[in-house]
């Protein structure tokens, strides 16, 4: 079975709440933080309903989940306090990951800030040796995430990641998290040459190290080094390319995790598109949403066709306009999804649907996928 899910919250009743949220999206895997990703405050694991959560996972058929390390960890820092905090806090996160029963914790490798890439590679490798050497009682692996190349962050190329791995004594406990948005923004052409990208990854790092795949579309063209996620089918990568990643024969068996942003007019009522994204990738939209959903997507398609809108071209043209024309962006900063949503509302289509439901149907139309089973 395809292991696919999304990032979910890990609060209130901990793993039990997280599993319930994942189930609401139709997930067969999911990713959590063991606390807020922006700070070091953590609740005791004893209060995280671990046994109840594991029982709920078993009942739902969810076998493998992933933990993500907090963003504040920077093993590449030359500042002693920052570096030492990163080492000690990451060790504690590994122990918490072990307590949950998870085998991979995803980590942004780190940033070299005021130094240079060579320093960053050496410093991160030094930190990984300390972290892994101090957690030998666990079997948890650190999954180094491929990065987009924003600022001074490391891991923006397969070569950089390979160099870090080569310098780590305990590299049998290093794995890789491949992020589609990040490698696209870093310049890897997964749209037109996925096989070539995977072959390069295999030759430099080894596909046997790949343990997790983050599946996100990108708001920016290839090589932009920006790292700005967008729902599947609404960005420069497109749904078809993401689907090719998820179903590629060389990537099967890994958990595929959505980190696409929540969308909506009001930040207080924004909702994720995880449920429809998962159904589209799994190919069970009709079973999940029903025939009426498909008929409404077809209605949207007829409307947009009459308006002269080609789904893929509209998305790319809108992003190009927002990127290249400052005056146009200032006059109308709406992104592709919001523009399409406004058209649907103005035409008084789908009047009985909530904002979330309209957006789900737009995502389905943008995918271009066959929706009937």
Annotated binding site: 68, 108, 145, 179, 182, 214, 227, 229, 259
Q: What share of the chain is helix, strand, coil (3-state, %, to 5)?
A: 50, 10, 40
Q: What is the CA radius of gyration of the chain?
A: 21
Rounded CA separation 315/236 (Å):
8
Token pair of 1, please? 């079975």
- The Cα-based distances of 355 to 239, 287, 358, 366 in angstroms read 21, 22, 5, 16
DSSP state of 271: B
Q: Could you tell me which residues are annotated as the binding site for Zn(2+)?
A: 68, 108, 145, 179, 182, 214, 227, 229, 259
CA distance 133 to 119: 21
Name the region of 5 (left: φ>0; alpha: ψ -120 to 50; beta: rest): beta
User: φ, ψ for residue 149 (rounded to 5)?
Assistant: 95, 20
CB 108 within 8 A of CB 71: yes
Bridge-based pairing of strands 229-230 and 217-218 is: antiparallel
What residues have CB less than 8 Å from 344, skipping those under 6 apart?
A: 300, 303, 350, 358, 362
- Cα(20)–Cα(7) distance, rounded to whole angstroms? 13
169 contacts: CB under 8 Å, gap ≥ 6? 129, 132, 133
Q: Which residues pair with 141 in a beta bridge?
A: 104
Q: Where are the alpha helices (DSSP H) in 149-259?
A: 158-166, 180-185, 194-204, 239-246
Residue the block writes with tokens 């390319």:
241
């Amino acid at each position: 079975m395809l292991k696919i899910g999304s990032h979910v919250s890990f609060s209130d009743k901990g793993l039990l709440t997280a599993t319930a949220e994942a189930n609401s999206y139709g997930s067969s895997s999911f990713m959590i933080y063991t606390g807020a990703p922006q700070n070091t405050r953590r609740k005791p694991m004893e209060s995280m309903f671990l046994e109840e959560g594991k029982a709920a996972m078993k009942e739902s058929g969810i076998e493998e989940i992933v933990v993500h390390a907090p963003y504040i960890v920077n093993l590449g820092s030359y500042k002693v306090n920052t570096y030492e905090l990163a080492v000690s806090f990451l060790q504690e996160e590994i122990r918490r990951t072990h307590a949950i029963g998870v085998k991979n914790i995803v980590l942004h490798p780190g940033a070299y800030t005021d130094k240079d890439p060579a320093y960053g590679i050496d410093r991160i490798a030094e930190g990984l040796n300390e972290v892994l050497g101090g957690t030998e009682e666990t079997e948890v692996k650190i999954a180094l995430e491929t990065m987009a190349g924003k600022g001074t962050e490391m891991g923006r190329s397969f070569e950089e990641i390979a160099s870090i791995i080569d310098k780590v004594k305990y590299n049998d406990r290093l794995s890789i998290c491949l992020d589609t948005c990040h490698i696209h923004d870093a310049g890897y052409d997964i749209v037109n040459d996925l096989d070539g990208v995977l072959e390069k990854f295999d030759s430099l790092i080894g596909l046997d190290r790949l343990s997790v795949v983050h599946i996100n579309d990108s708001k920016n063209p290839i090589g932009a080094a920006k790292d700005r996620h967008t729902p599947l089918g609404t960005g420069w990568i497109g749904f078809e390319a993401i689907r090719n990643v998820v179903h590629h024969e060389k990537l099967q068996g890994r958990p595929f995790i959505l980190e696409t942003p929540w969308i909506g007019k009001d930040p207080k009522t924004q909702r994720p598109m995880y449920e429809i994204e998962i159904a589209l990738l799994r190919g069970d939209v009709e079973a999940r949403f029903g025939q009426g959903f498909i008929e409404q997507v077809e209605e949207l398609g007829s409307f947009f066709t009459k308006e002269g809108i080609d789904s893929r071209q509209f998305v790319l043209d809108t992003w190009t306009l927002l990127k290249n024309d400052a005056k146009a962006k200032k006059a109308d900063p709406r992104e592709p999804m919001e523009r399409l949503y406004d058209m649907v509302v103005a035409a008084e289509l789908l009047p009985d649907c909530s904002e979330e439901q309209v957006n789900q149907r737009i995502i389905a139309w943008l995918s271009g996928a066959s929706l009937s089973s």
